[in-house]
Structure 1
């Protein structure tokens, strides 16, 4: 069912009224309404569009979805597209929720494709900032943007924590090559997806702050500027984490190469040790008499040579850290 609210002078006066009564509520002076539509039917969208005079192109974008974060300006209203973001720590995947908003001078209409966007947190934020609600639709839009950007920040912070754990695994005494590679790929994919969500938000917030739009009163400009600063920080943080993930992948490959060199040295050292007794036994196995041939002294001599030379090679390789 659509959710509705009506504010007058910043005070919540009515809630959960039918959407066909929007015009009646807006007809009462100094009223601001909010309508939330979850996976709406086309008929519900068209009903709201008729009540508020929404442009058909904006209604079509909201119905089809899969829009990039943006703000489109029309004669009677603005159209906002944005995404919430949350990192699933277990799988490393980024969970996003698409939300659209029709912004008129007296109404805010949010359209969600699924229930992934925390709408209860949005209403709680509005209820917690009742002093701002007296500034009308601009205050409602600020609460929406602030919640979205805070979610982006939380997602970036979660990614940062997961990447730090990758760094610990990278230099662990026990190799975790396969896990590090798989996890790095998952986090890098999530970072690319998050960048597509966060980066356009600079343009979105900057457009809404323009004075020629007239959406934001002077009293709300510091609040929007704060949101804009958070967007910039989230964008810069995302870019730095993407470089860090690439560095982890390159470092992991370097460590694998170094580990392979160590293994090669060890195998070569053991091959050299094994070659000594092979050479001695092969030499004494010739069909010619040799000192101690067919006597116990010859066997003892060859055994002592094998032990001494092999031991000397082992000590030498061990001192050079080849074993």
Structure 2
């Protein structure tokens, strides 16, 4: 069971059944956290009645692909964020919802690929802040989510730089593989941008002075640090998106330039061959060749044509003209 009980800023109990939450939630000195992973509608209805959650917030949990947001209700806050999960070079965001009341934090994970254990480690790393209650718990969650996004955008930046260097590399590269890599980067960048851009509004709303959640001056710098990371990630994502767009345009320009070079060479050779062909065709020249009128002459000319064609194909393929 992912449950915790803090009493007067001290961790008193953890791993107890969720059914015992009702015994502590009415005590103002207690702060409760528990986690639900892929809950059913019946599970949510139970905690909704216990904590007085709004029906629209519960409905949003059951709906997929919510936008990162912070909704303010009379008795609680509802927050939706997305954790980073990469599988086979593909970004697969994990939705994480949080119900925030005066003395309780409920996290609802879409699946177990979001490592809630890392969030617990962050809480354990700063026990001196536990006295700030739910603000302390929520900071650990948001800090882990934003740091995961920050680490991932760093990885994307590294891949983009490596791809940028290959654009002007003298060693020939596989054009199809480069196109696939560029497409994957752009697709992941779009998904990451959808996750990170609304986070500025989420954390910014928490920092507003009219919010009672962060009432302690000691917790404000920690949330400002998270907000700073959110801004850095957002700006980084925008710059990488521009970089990938420039790389795509550069790649298209290179392909057009290379195609023009190939066409110039082929046109030059075609012009050279066309001159003797036109002269001999105009005069109707037809000189005897070895094997004229003989079967072996036909086969020899056929072999010469085949060998020459294969040779030209090999040369063009080596130069990556085909």
Same fold (TM over 0.5): yes
Q: Secondary structure at the match of 2:11?
A: strand
Structure 1 residue aligned with 2:162: 165
Change (3 A) 1:265 1:65: closer
d(CA) in 2 for partners of 1:284, 1:55: 95
| 1:47-75 per-position Cα deviation (integer Å, ceiling 9, x unaligned) | 21222121122112112232111111111
Q: Secondary structure at the match of 1:98?
A: strand
- d(CA) in 2 for partners of 1:51, 1:193: 35
Which deviates further from its counterpart, 230-239 or 10-19? 10-19
How many Å separate the matches in 2 of 1:23 and 1:279? 98
Please name the residue that 2:200 is paired with.
202
Contact kept in structure 1, 2:9 and 2:130, CA below 8 Å = yes
CA distance in 2, matches of 1:86, 1:20: 31
Aligned counterpart for 1:138 among listed residues 120, 135, 138? 135
Deviation at 1:95, TM superposition (A): 1.6
Q: Within 5 A, what are the aligned runs for 1:1-323?
A: 2-88=1-87, 91-172=88-169, 173-216=171-214, 217-275=216-274, 278=277
User: Aligned-pair distance for 1:77?
Assistant: 0.7
- Once residues 46 and 113 of structure 2 are traced to their aligned partners in structure 1, the CA distance between those partners, rounded to angstroms, is 24
TM-score normalised per structure 1: 0.82
Distance 2:46 2:102 in 1: 19
Q: How far does residue 130 in structure 1 lie from its aligned partner after superposition?
A: 0.8
The one-character-per-residue Cα deviations of 1:258-295 (angstroms, maximum 9, x if unpaired) are 111111121123234434654676689769xxxxxxxx
Change in 2 beyond 3 A, CA 1:267/1:52: same
Bigger radius of gyration, 1 or 2? 1
C-alpha RMSD over aligned residues? 2.0
Residue-by-residue CA offset, 1:176-228 (whole Å, 9 max, x unaligned) = 32222222122111111111110000000011111212101211001101110
Return 5+ residue gaps in structure 1 as ranges: 288-323
- My pick for the range that moved more, 55-64 or 241-250, is 55-64
Q: Aligned partners of 2:208 and 2:285: how far apart in 1?
A: 97
Distance (whole Å) between structure 2 residues aligned to residue 116 and residue 241 of structure 1: 26
* 2-structure distance, mates of 1:286, 1:66: 76
After superposition, the C-alpha distances for 1:81-139 in whole angstroms (9 at most, x for unaligned) are: 11012344xx4321210010000110000001111211010001111111111211001
Please give the alpha-carbon distance, in whole angstroms, between the structure 2 residues aligned to 1:180 and 1:208. 42
The 1:265–1:46 alpha-carbon spacing in structure 2 relative to 1, beyond 3 Å, is same
In terms of mean alpha carbon deviation, does 74-83 or 157-166 score higher? Answer: 157-166
Distance in 2 of aligned mates of 1:281 and 1:229: 78
Q: Distance in 1 between matches of 2:239 and 2:158?
A: 13
Deviations 1:15-69 (A, max 9, x none): 1212222121234452101010001122221221222121122112112232111
Q: How many residues are aligned here?
A: 284
Unaligned runs of 5+ in 2: 287-322
Whether contact under 8 Å (1:87, 1:158) holds in the other structure is: no
TM-score by length of 2: 0.82
- Identify if the C-alpha distance between structure 1 residues 61 and 103 changes in structure 2 by more than 3 Å, giving closer, same or farther: same
